[in-house]
Structure 1
């Protein structure tokens, strides 16, 4: 909690919108309660993972054509924030730590250009945020500060590169973000080699850290395909 407070004090508040084409809906339907998908675990936090999904692949594989993320009515998305996750030093990570206040409609709407799903925002707070922050507003603000500190490679251009590999994506990310090293950038692929997610690994002090085996994902030599769909 102290580290979160320090981060909030040192960094400016982010703007509401992350995706430059995004326009949040004026009305958000109630999300309702979030049912746990696993047991509570109140283990000590040893680091964090910032998980960024590649939205075109999600929209292709999920068939979720009517949602804000995939319909195109509210904007078009590339990388979107899946979530900010606290991690344990060994074993299973903390989750579902306590029953916290539900995010308000205003809090959800203010973060929809970063994570274009009100239900996913509520789920991430209930499952992960309750293990690292006192309120949804604090959790989302920390996630947004980290999110806006990152520059993302041009995945459309990369997708057209011959013999593209996961290492090429890592290298492109590091060129834009010199504070990072390739071993701190996890690349998650589908079984057929399509880009699903980039997972950035942080220490307890929110500094880039080497990813463990769970988050490293594909090796540098792994062939990579990126579904454009934009």
Structure 2
């Protein structure tokens, strides 16, 4: 296996893990996910990685329509109340396709679920993200989720309650507010995804092959900047003081070793 050292600072910054949870208390008995296999039209694909996407879901919108036991922890309010949660860290291809289901995925260890359930509040979604995306990036789920968690914890968020109250809010205005909260992002690095009725669903943040924030590639579409945006009200989120906020990008220093499949991401010119 190819060993690539990625610089990650503040992987587990105290106080930041629950940055988008009013409260989160994982159950004593970790939920066990079901195995995830490729569905119809989802055959495994091993190909070079050209870029990455950090996908953040607005939990109140998901919970406004969610049903079933898989969404209970996230939406019932007994163990947590959430704002933005991590949908996933996805490897993208060079064109319009992407690697997926690169190798067999065993069930996640209970400790991995425990460490990440307040970030991605669904054991089944964690299993899905590892099986579909993580297996194309790392040899172990711990490595994949440590990397995803570091980027999630580095994000800062605007005052979503104030934005939800605004009349005639546009996608462009929301994007500008998100950029103001994250100084190293630009509007062209963000794609806003909406549901029917122009409700905020997700934010996709684009990164290049070196995991640096970058302009979104052609074909990664989102809602138009002039379109109106509606935001499902959520819980009043804590606003961390500047002294407690993590840097926008994990700093690079010898630390986490990420084992990448050489068939998935061939490195050139002494790449990282």
TM-score, normalised via structure 2 length: 0.79
What root-mean-square deviation, in Å, do the aligned CA atoms of Structure 1 and Structure 2 show?
1.7
Cα deviation, residue 11, structure 1: 2.0
Shift of 1:145: 0.4
Question: Does residue 61 in structure 1 map to residue 60 in structure 2?
Answer: no
Which 5+ residue runs of structure 1 have no aligned equivalent? Answer: none
Q: Which residue of 2 aligns with 1:170?
A: 175
Q: 1:86 maps to what in 2?
A: 91
Matched, 1:11 2:9: yes
Q: Does 1:35 align with 2:37?
A: yes
**Mapped partners of 1:32, 1:91: distance in 2:** 29
Which SS does the other structure have where 2:64 is aligned?
helix
Correspondent of 2:166 among 158, 161, 164: 161
Q: CA separation in 2, counterparts of 1:225 and 1:20?
A: 22
Q: Flag the structure with higher strand content.
A: 2
- Which structure has the highest helix share of the two? 1
Instruction: State the alpha-carbon separation in 2 of the partners of residues 59 and 101 from structure 1.
Output: 28
**Residue 23 of structure 2 corresponds to which residue in structure 1?**
21
Q: Which runs of 4+ in 1 moved over 6 A?
A: none
Kindly indicate whether structure 1 or structure 2 has the higher relative contact order, using CA contacts under 8 Å at least 6 residues apart: 2
Q: How many residues align?
A: 227
For residue 23 of structure 1, report the CA deviation from its aligned partner: 1.0
Aligned partner of 1:202 in structure 2 is 207
- Which residue matches 1:127? 132
Residue of structure 2 aligned with 1:71, choices 58, 67, 76: 76
| Greater gyration radius | 2
Q: Cα offset for 1:190? A: 1.1
Runs of 5+ in structure 2 lacking a partner?
236-272
CA contact (8 A) 1:186 1:199 kept: yes
